[in-house]
């Protein structure tokens, strides 16, 4: 997760009056490299629509477009008590969510447990044992029972497992590959549900896995629960992704299930992989370096241009190039700290963009403290403009994915629920994304935006609980599509 500082007061407008010509020339070149005009936005979006379609086909494409077996939205009248488990890269979050009879309401209690680093590269059994231990602690504390086996019934659980996984069933998932710093042997290519359930059974915990979900799908469902105009869920954070509701008849790769064509099914796009073939994305030489030096070159092309994990590295690569090859930026100074790969994150750019002072004094202090560099006022102006360019490009390209889903589904008006550190904390990201949507979808000036991206509800907690509730509701109704283990669910 990208760690941003607290928000500060609005920033000042920059001035280029005292920037020498060689630096101004470099700024103009950076503007040429990183700007994405309306025509390019539309070109990217049109290709995006085709790639979304291809991902749903039998043959598939770069964008996985994973069916989630979440068959429709909540109606707001779901009731009951549910557990949610959110397994992230840093923490494990356990929640208990009560859905009362009031429409669209919920009550939540939660606890966080640190995910020890040694577990991330340890033994598979140790991981599941630790998760079961945390669940046991949570239940014993909040339910005050001496013997867990004496509880009247098993609590249904929605498990937010936000790693790439293929799902033939909502209560099972085969891990494709570990991400977020995890590298536990013997799990990739396996169904994680039985591994988790074995640890629950070993402790005789009164818990039943009802749904295994991705945080983006949870964001879609939780946001729609409190606002039924929400039709897309997005994550703009360390990575990027979106989920939306499709009709089964528009998903050729699940045609063999012979489901009613108008039955809804949530699709987890995993569209960070958009345009891995590099047909339309406006990559710079610095994007190429990031891709070539990444653990998986040639993959996640879109994500590497817009996600929080890469924004600071883009900024760093440009500054090193300007020092070494162009205008002698930070001339005569030791830039060894700046040469360390991934030493800057998105919060570094965020801080620069929020510097409220005309002389960029806070930015100068940041460079001195973090990089031991004494930057001149013109150098700081260049750095400020570069941060704006990288942040703006990320927001504008992010809008292409949202616009593509709207065009594919002929959505003319809706709310989009968005979450993630970049969306929530990076300055001007929302406004820049909204402007790009206007340009792509040709909305008239002066009217309210028909598609509005708003802060999402808690997808990995409340969303997971709601999906567990929806799954149980489907079993009761006899709609068992994509549910493997219905025993004990009702």
Summarised one tens digit per residue, pLDDT across range 308-349 is 989 999 999 999 999 998 778 999 999 999 999 999 999 999
- Residue 136: both structure tokens together: 């046991």
Burial class of 146 by CB neighbour count within 10 A (0 to 12, 13 to 18, 19+):
exposed
Cβ–Cβ under 8 Å, residues 73 and 245: yes
Residue that the structure tokens 């991206």 belong to: 453
Catalytic site residues? 162, 177, 215
> The dihedral of CA 71, 180, 269, 227: what is its sign?
positive
Distance of CA 405 to the CA centre of its chain: 16
Structure confidence by residue, pLDDT tens digits, 81-106: 999 999 877 789 999 999 998 888 89
SS3 226: helix
Burial class of 346 by CB neighbour count within 10 A (0 to 12, 13 to 18, 19+):
buried
Cβ atoms within 10 Å of 365's Cβ, excluding its own: 13
Distance of CA 198 to the CA centre of its chain: 29
The pLDDT score that the predictor gives to residue 372 is 96
The pLDDT score that the predictor gives to residue 152 is 59
Cβ–Cβ under 8 Å, residues 336 and 298: no
Structure confidence by residue, pLDDT tens digits, 113-146: 998 888 888 889 999 999 999 999 999 888 766 5
> What gap in Å lies between CA 409 and CA 115, rounded to an integer?
39
The pLDDT score that the predictor gives to residue 2 is 54
Structure confidence by residue, pLDDT tens digits, 143-187: 766 555 555 578 999 999 988 888 999 999 999 888 777 889 889
């Amino acid at each position: 997760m990208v760690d941003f500082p607290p928000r500060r007061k609005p920033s000042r407008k920059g001035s280029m009056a005292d920037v020498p010509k060689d630096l101004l020339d470099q700024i103009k070149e950076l503007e040429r490299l990183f700007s994405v005009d309306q025509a390019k936005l539309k070109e990217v979006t049109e290709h995006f629509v085709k790639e979304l379609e291809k991902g749903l086909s039998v043959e598939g494409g770069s964008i996985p477009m994973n069916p989630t077996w979440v068959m429709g939205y909540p109606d707001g009248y779901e009731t009951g008590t549910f557990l949610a488990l959110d397994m992230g890269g840093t923490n494990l979050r356990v929640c208990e969510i009560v859905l009362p009879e009031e429409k669209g309401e919920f009550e939540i209690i939660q606890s966080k447990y640190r995910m020890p680093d040694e577990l991330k590269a340890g033994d598979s059994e140790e991981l599941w044992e630790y998760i079961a231990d945390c669940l046991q602690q949570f239940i014993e504390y909040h339910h005050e029972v001496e013997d867990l086996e004496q509880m009247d019934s098993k609590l249904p659980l929605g498990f937010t497992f936000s790693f790439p996984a293929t799902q033939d069933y909502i209560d099972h998932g085969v891990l494709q590959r570990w991400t977020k710093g995890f590298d536990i042997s013997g799990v990739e290519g396996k169904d994680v549900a039985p591994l988790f359930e074995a640890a629950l059974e070993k402790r005789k915990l009164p818990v039943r896995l009802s749904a295994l979900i991705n945080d983006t799908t949870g964001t879609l469902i939780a946001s729609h629960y409190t606002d039924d105009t929400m039709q897309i869920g997005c994550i703009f954070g360390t990575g990027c992704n979106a989920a939306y509701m499709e009709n089964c008849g528009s998903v050729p790769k699940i045609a063999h299930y012979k489901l009613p064509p108008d039955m809804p099914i949530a699709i987890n796009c995993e569209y960070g992989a958009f345009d891995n073939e590099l047909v339309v994305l406006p990559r710079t030489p610095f994007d190429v370096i990031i891709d070539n030096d990444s653990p998986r070159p040639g993959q996640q092309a879109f994500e590497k241009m817009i996600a929080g994990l890469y924004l600071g590295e883009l900024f760093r690569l440009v500054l090193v190039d300007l020092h070494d090859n162009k205008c002698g930026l930070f001339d005569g100074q030791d830039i060894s700290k700046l040469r360390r790969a991934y030493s800057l994150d998105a919060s570094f750019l965020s801080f620069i963009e929020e510097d409220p002072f005309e002389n960029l004094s806070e930015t100068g202090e940041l460079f001195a403290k973090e990089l031991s560099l004494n930057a001149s006022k013109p150098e700081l102006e260049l750095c400020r403009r570069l941060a704006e360019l990288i942040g703006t490009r990320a927001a504008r390209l992010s809008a292409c994915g949202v616009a593509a889903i709207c065009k594919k589904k002929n959505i003319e008006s809706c709310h989009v629920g968005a979450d993630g550190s970049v969306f929530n904390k990076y300055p001007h990201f929302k406004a820049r994304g909204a402007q790009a949507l206007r340009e792509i979808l040709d909305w008239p000036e002066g009217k309210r935006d028909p598609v509005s991206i708003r802060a999402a509800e808690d997808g990995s907690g409340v969303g997971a609980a709601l999906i567990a509730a929806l799954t149980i509701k489907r079993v009761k109704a006899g709609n068992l599509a994509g549910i493997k283990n219905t025993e004990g669910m009702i």
